[in-house]
Amino acid sequence: MAAYYALIMAGGIGKRLWPRSRHDRPKQSLRLVGDRTMFQHAVDRLAPLFGPEQIHVVTGVSHVKALAAQSPAIPEGNFIVEPEGRGTAPAIGLGAIHFARLDPDAVMVVLTADHFIADRECFRQVLAAAEDVARDGHLVTLGLKPSHPSTGYGYIQQGDPIGTVGGFEVFRADRFTEKPDLDEAVRMVESGSFTWNSGMFVWRVDRIMGEFQRQMPEFHAQLTTVAAALDTPDYETILARVWPQVTKQAIDYGVMEGAQDVSVIPVEIGWSDVGSWTSLADLLPADEQGNVISGLHLGVDTRNTLILADERFVATIGLEGLVIVDTEDALLICTREREQEVKEIVRRLEEEGMGDYL
């Protein structure tokens, strides 16, 4: 039987989790839930479906050392280093040529390093089922059954049912939509035939390469150049020459929206993108006042507030609905409603040359 590989994309910073996330301490390296880093969780939950030798990681040169240290069981050669990030399509393409060299008939699953999944058992079951569907030539997407009409995610519209595999219903994916406005999100969620696009995909390596060739021919030619250098001493030189010329592209827009034989498996796996402090708070146990606290805290009439402060003692009086995140050199205090504007803080730090805090 042909191989099944996992590709964990671990290139981002996670700006919305500033001040914990920094250039040299990206989100996937943070211990946000329990005492394992997000990357370690991403690796842990693949066992026993994937052994360490089946797990590959695509990341930037500045992150690779820290990630390798976090998961020493993964062979060093499985860390695929991008000279610079060019979006998800190139990262996946780079993974695909590595897998194709190992086994031209391989199936690969594309995963993220910084999301949380509560139901690991169900997650592995759907990955196992998706492999079967992918072997038949489908580009399989994992669609997350929506818990609320989020305007923060893309949606996938289910079409005709294809069948049931491993206990999971599989549908044709009729359409990928970008982040909707609230009215549209409500309509989609109420229809029952839309799921959130998780960014997790399963497909045969030859199928995704075929889609690159058909839909992103220039990138496919660049990939072919890099692939020809695999296992040669020139690989890094050639990759470093080619990669800056690669057009930035997301896999959704570059491939999925126009791909053939795309299917979706709707799942409920307790997924969270941990995309903001509030979404992290939702994953952690709250006290009777609705507070989520990490660190030494005394509160007088403090409610519905997230306090992450392992560096120093925090006292609060009369607070409601705040996010308080302390680090050694920087402190964030904002309302839960406006936590998305953390990105604005990061932008202004960049603009004002305060790079020490980035």
Q: Which residues here bind its own copies, judged by CB under 8 A?
A: 18-19, 296, 298, 300-301, 309, 312-319, 322, 324, 326-335, 337-339, 341-342, 344-345, 348-349, 352, 354, 357
What amino acid occupies position 213? Q
Whose CA is closest to 189, among 74, 266, 119?
266
Task: Name the minimum Å distance from CB 14 to its own copies.
Answer: 16
- Interior angle at CA 15, CA 282 and CA 9, nearest 5: 85
**Closer CB to its own copies, 131 or 326, in the complex:** 326
* 96: its two tokens: 């695909």
* CA separation for the pair 275, 271 (Å, rounded): 11
Nearer to its own copies, 183 or 320 (CB): 320
Our CB check for its own copies shows the closer of 181 and 351 to be 351
| Closest CB to its own copies among residues 15, 63 | 15
**Min. distance of Cβ 301 from its own copies in angstroms?**
8
CB of 274 to its own copies, least distance (A): 19
| E strand or H helix at 348 | helix 342-351
Where on the phi/psi map is residue 244: left (φ > 0), alpha (ψ -120 to 50), or beta? alpha
Determine the length of the chain: 358
Cα 227 from Cα 189, distance rounded (Å): 42
Q: Which is nearer to its own copies, 77 or 318 (CB)?
A: 318
**Min CB(353)–its own copies separation in Å:** 12
State in angstroms the smallest separation of the CB of 53 from its own copies: 43
Direct distance between the N- and C-terminal alpha carbons of the chain, in angstroms, rounded to an integer: 47
Nearer to its own copies, 19 or 149 (CB): 19
Task: Tell me the two tokens of residue 39.
Answer: 């990357």
For its own copies, give the closer residue by CB, 2 or 354: 354
Residue with smaller CB distance to its own copies, 218 or 329: 329
Q: How far is the CB of 327 from its own copies (least distance, A)?
A: 8
Rg over alpha carbons for the chain, rounded to the nearest Å, is: 21
Burial group, residue 351, by CB count within 10 angstroms (0-12, 13-18, 19+): exposed
Min CB(25)–its own copies separation in Å: 15
Residues 22-54: b if buried by 16+ CB within 10 A, e if exposed: beebbbbbbebbeeebbbbbbbebbeebbeeeb
Which amino acid is located at 184 in the chain?
A: E
Task: Please name the residues in contact with 223: beta carbons below 8 A apart, sequence gap of 6 or more.
Answer: 93, 94, 96, 97, 209, 212
The distance of closest approach from Cβ of residue 172 to its own copies in the complex, given in angstroms and rounded to an integer, is 43
Q: How far is the CB of 358 from its own copies (least distance, A)?
A: 11
C-beta of 268 vs 320, nearer to its own copies: 320
Return d(Cα 346, Cα 357) in angstroms, integer.
Answer: 9
